[in-house]
Amino acid sequence: MDHKRKEIEDYFKDFIEDDRQHGYSWVFENMHDLHHHAFNNDYYIIGRYKAKQWLGDEALNVIQFIKEYETLHFGEVSTDFSEPEQIVNMYTYIIGEEVVNDWLEKHYHPVSNTLLINC
């Protein structure tokens, strides 16, 4: 699913760039928890109205996507689909996982244990 994926990628890119002034030392030290820090510490969208607007016409597709993900990974569905804010934040959590993994694949060299950052 690619609903607003570019926006989520840009959000993560900005998250990484916030550490630029420190030579990306925080990113390197927390590289194995980047997904948690970027997509699980704070809400991506706050507010029911903003969440509804963000979902737009894709709300039902996003809900189905979340159901499939949670069933596969957790064995049950736990997101409250009556709350648009929870839908958006779970969706960004899931897509964020993919975004972070893609980023690490491009920017982390495990053999030399180095970050190759050219965002």
Instruction: Give the chain's residues under pLDDT 70.
Output: 118-119
Burial 62-81 (b: 16+ CB within 10 A, else e): bbebbeebbeeeeeeeebee
| pLDDT tens digit sequence for 58-71 | 999 999 999 999 99
pLDDT, residue 119, reads 46
pLDDT, residue 23, reads 84
Kindly report the pTM of this predicted structure.
0.92
